[in-house]
Amino acid sequence: MDRPQPVSAELISDLRNLRALNRWFGSYRLVRHFLHRWIHPNDKLRVLDLATGSGDIPRLVVEFARKLEAQVQIDAVDFQESTVAIARELSRGFTEITYHHADIGNFGPPQSYDVVLFSLALHHFDETTAIQLLQRCRELSRGRVLVADLRRGWLARAGVDLITRTIFREPMTRNDAVASAVRAFSFSELEQLAISAGWKNFGHQRFPFARQAIWLDE
């Protein structure tokens, strides 16, 4: 999935599997945990979702905000043009979301968003780039940042191996999931990345199904 590629049945299937994994293995629950803290009735918020994939997190945010009668305008960014095309198709009716095919490392002016989200993508980058992206998240936000990712360890490896052998058996999904479990940062490594990026007074917590998150709430 990290390589440029056209829209294909294989890519569509893989993105569908990733959405199912997000739904059933903790990512949606993790994000909702912070939405309850950060979105309130009648709020008007600008939100940025980096490495948006097929846009399931932005749609989750919109659905949450609509229930509260809060207003959100979301910029969702991904470097993969074909993935953005699929996200736009899946997001018909979600007029609050604008998709951008762009480099997440240099998108947007500083302090232009109330909330910046970056989910399940940091492990795709080396440590130097990951630090730069964490710095960028902080620069883009007026105070609230959520970076959610996998947590490397035996549970992640065993769980990924089990579900990709029994349920999500498509080759692209299995390859991506296994690689992600291996490349994910450990709990202590992610904390050190945030410190190296200049984050101060940040939260850091383990979540179910080998997830973790760091956040700023200034």
Domain 9-152+186-217 fold: Rossmann fold (3.40.50)
Q: How far is it, in rounded angstroms, from Cα 81 to Cα 56? A: 16
User: For residue 101, what are the CA distances in angstroms to 55, 83, 89, 97?
Assistant: 12, 9, 14, 13
User: For residue 165, what are the CA distances in angstroms to 26, 123, 130, 173?
Assistant: 19, 22, 30, 11
- In this structure, what token pair is assigned to residue 33? 């945990």
- In this structure, what token pair is assigned to residue 11? 């890519």
In the block, which residue shows the tokens 């749609």?
59
Question: The whole model's pTM is what?
Answer: 0.89
4-60 pLDDT, tens digit each: 667 778 888 888 888 988 888 889 999 999 999 999 999 999 999 999 999 999 999
CA angle 145, 111, 30 (to 5 degrees): 15
- In this structure, what token pair is assigned to residue 104? 């997440």
CB 80, CB 176: distance < 8 Å: no
Q: Phi and psi (nearest 5°) for 148?
A: -110, 140
132-191 pLDDT, tens digit each: 999 999 999 999 999 999 999 777 766 666 677 776 667 666 667 767 877 899 999 999
In the block, which residue shows the tokens 């383990």?
206
